[in-house]
A and B are shown apart, each in its own frame.
Chain A
């Protein structure tokens, strides 16, 4: 469940490059929304029961499963706290982001 596409910002070098209609030609993945975060989720895997609920409810697709465990993608996590709130074992702590 790794990210698929490249994550470049698009720069048009010539008139030819520029699409003739307003259409997407790249992915928003370039937009690292982790910078929006004030508090960050930290998973204590000791208490994790691998239920996948945090993965399920992340609006930012910022939790992926690696070797059967949830991993937070801090590049994109906006720190909403939904995962921590919904985790049945309360093993995700929301901690102050050091800025």
Chain B
């Protein structure tokens, strides 16, 4: 063996998620949790609605996390967190960070009402949506976060999803909350930085984490990180922050924006797409990217 050298770890060493959990091989949602907990530390309470994470954590009487969890109803993540926060404050705990941790379905669809209420009141919680772009817990059905063109079990190949992904950041920005950020498990250092930043801000913070899902996307487990990185590089899922609904900052600037083809190619959920449809998707990605750049440049 070579000379002893110190290992340089780019993330906090603290490990609040344990092995033995129930996630599939190469699960992106699981990495999202592991990274977020590294940033959040021990003084945290999670509210997890129905989603893959209600399975990943493990069945009664076990848990794979070393932090407290309220497994709450599907549509209530945000307001459950508000309730926990209020409850903790009233019993004298003003420090604990309360985090709602929900999937895209629990955020973009069924939980959006409660989330909007929490954001409008600016309740002091962090809301984290890990986005695997479909209802995975129930077996890969479309959500409003499913991208245009994708196959799911309710958008079969012959009738693939023909509406764009809902622009959740824009909806949250319209609530004028102090902090919104997108993050990706492909960029864990950036992700950890954003969670830490959110922890220091009072009010409602919304984080949207891109988290590939091998069974749901029909991708290889070893490609999870690659896919997450590609989606940033081709601007399908750009990394940016919005402060008070107005100030946009791009975190990962793209010297050269990659085409989307390679990204689509390694996912079975897009395999049916024709050239024409891919061109259409590319145009939509380009337009959305331009709109984002306008917001970013307008903030300067």
Contact = CB atoms under 8 A, between A and B. Distances in A.
B21 interface: yes
A62 B19 contact: yes
A1 B13 contact: yes
Contacts of A33: 19-21
Contacts of B15: 1, 61
B63 A24 contact: yes
Interface string A63-92: 001011110010110111110111000000
Contacts of A57: 31, 188, 225
Interface in A1-26: 1, 3-5, 7, 10, 19, 22-26
A24 B64 CA distance: 9
B8 interface: yes
Contacts of A36: 25
B61 A25 contact: yes
B60 A29 contact: no
B21 A86 contact: no
Interface-central residue, B25, B58, B61, B220, by most chain A CB under 10 Å: B25
Given A27-B63, A50-B5, A57-B31, A81 B221 contact: yes
Given A61-B18, A73-B19, A79 B25 contact: yes
Query: Binding site of A, secondary structure by majority: helix, strand, loop or mixed?
Result: loop
A95 to B, nearest CB: 14
Contact of A69 (B7, B60, B63, B221): B7
Contacts of B221: 80-82
Nearest to A76: B19
B225 A29 contact: no
A42 interface: no
Interface of B: 1-2, 4-11, 13, 15, 17-23, 25-28, 30-31, 34, 57-58, 60-64, 66, 69, 188, 220-226
13 contacts: A10-B61, A22-B61, A24-B61, A24-B63, A27-B62, A46-B2, A52-B7, A56-B188, A57-B188, A61-B15, A84-B222, A85-B222, A85-B226
Q: Which 4 A-B pairs have the closest CB atoms?
A: A81-B222, A76-B19, A24-B63, A80-B25
Given A28-B57, A76-B19, 20 more contacts: A3-B19, A25-B61, A26-B62, A28-B22, A28-B62, A29-B18, A29-B20, A33-B20, A50-B7, A55-B9, A59-B34, A60-B19, A61-B15, A61-B18, A70-B7, A79-B25, A80-B25, A81-B220, A84-B222, A85-B226
